Amino acid sequence: MPASPIDNTTPTFDSSKITVIYVLGGPGAGKGTQCANLVKDFGFCHLSAGDLLRAEQTREGSQYGELIRTCIKEGTIVPMEVTIKLLENAMKAELERKPRGEGWADGKGRFLIDGFPRKMDQAVKFDETVCLSTKVLFFTTTEEVMLSRLLERGKTSGREDDNVESIKKRFRTYANDTMPVIQYYASQGKVAEVDSTVAIEDVHKAAREVVLKIFAEKQQTA
């Protein structure tokens, strides 16, 4: 059968120009903190799936507010269509924004997608329809460390999921749904692991090295 002229699985963004790094790790592993550091170093656009969902949850007129609220509190994963659309829209908006600095000339762009994909279906769908990811930056530490960080954050975050009951559920979802995503990318040699137990600045240094390596490899294949 001849190939269809309309290929439904062509991604919206060309991964030879747009670098997508997924930033994964358990809740409280330090993804958000380190993404902020990498934004300063490399001019990334940092998109946190959780932050986009929380913004959508409170957006007037959103049809997903209740669904998102329930999922976040229960530590479960919002249906992927919602999250993927939010990410894609945010990427489009960012690419239309001008002027931009390093890494954003001639249709190029660099994104840290934080806290996503958390489940296999999201991973496959985003890679196929939005942009093929370049690498996974994976922050690891113990549940004990994550729990204490989240409880500390919970004192001021106002987040409905920074309490012991929700945190336990988030750990379960992470083990059941997100670890398979990390294994999937690891089997493709796409995972760079950084121990995030140590001091913030040391984690930052290690993460910066990972990103430098990603850009160096990308240049060789471009």
Where is the binding site for a ribonucleoside 5'-phosphate, in residues? 54, 76-78, 115-118, 122, 159, 170
Answer with the entry of Mg ion, ligand UDP, none that 141 interacts with (C-beta below 5 to 8 A by kind).
none
The residue among 17 and 33 lying less far from ligand UDP, judged by its C-beta, is: 33
Q: Which part of the chain contacts ligand UDP (CB under 6 A), choosing from 33-41, 74-82, 179-187, 204-212?
A: 74-82
Among 53, 130, 136, 137, binds ligand UDP (CB under 6 A): 53
Under the binding rule (CB under 6 A), the answer on residue 32 touching ligand UDP is yes
Give contact residues for Mg ion (rule: CB under 5 A).
32
8 A C-beta contact, residue 165 and residue 72: no
Among 27, 30, 109, 154, binds ligand UDP (CB under 6 A): 27
Under the binding rule (CB under 6 A), the answer on residue 214 touching ligand UDP is no
Packing angle of the helix pair 80-96, 120-129 (nearest 10 deg): 40
Residue 163 CB neighbour total at 10 angstroms: 13
Among 18, 23, 47, 49, binds ligand UDP (CB under 6 A): 49
CA distances from 215 to 18, 135, 178, 184 (A): 11, 10, 25, 22
Q: Which residues of 13-29 are buried (b: 16+ CB within 10 A; e: fewer)?
A: beeeebbbbbbbbbbbb
8 A C-beta contact, residue 160 and residue 73: yes
Q: Residue 84: which of 118, 107, 57, 108 has the closest Cα?
A: 118
Q: Which positions from 106 to 145 touch ligand UDP by CB under 6 A, shown as an x/- string?
A: ---------xx-x---x-----------------------
Q: Residue 190: which of 218, 222, 160, 161 has the closest Cα?
A: 218
| Three-class SS state of 164 | helix
CB of 194 to ligand UDP, least distance (A): 15
Structure tokens at 61: 């007129």
Positions touching ligand UDP (CB under 6 A) are 27-28, 31-32, 48-50, 53, 71-72, 75-78, 83, 115-116, 118, 122, 161, 170
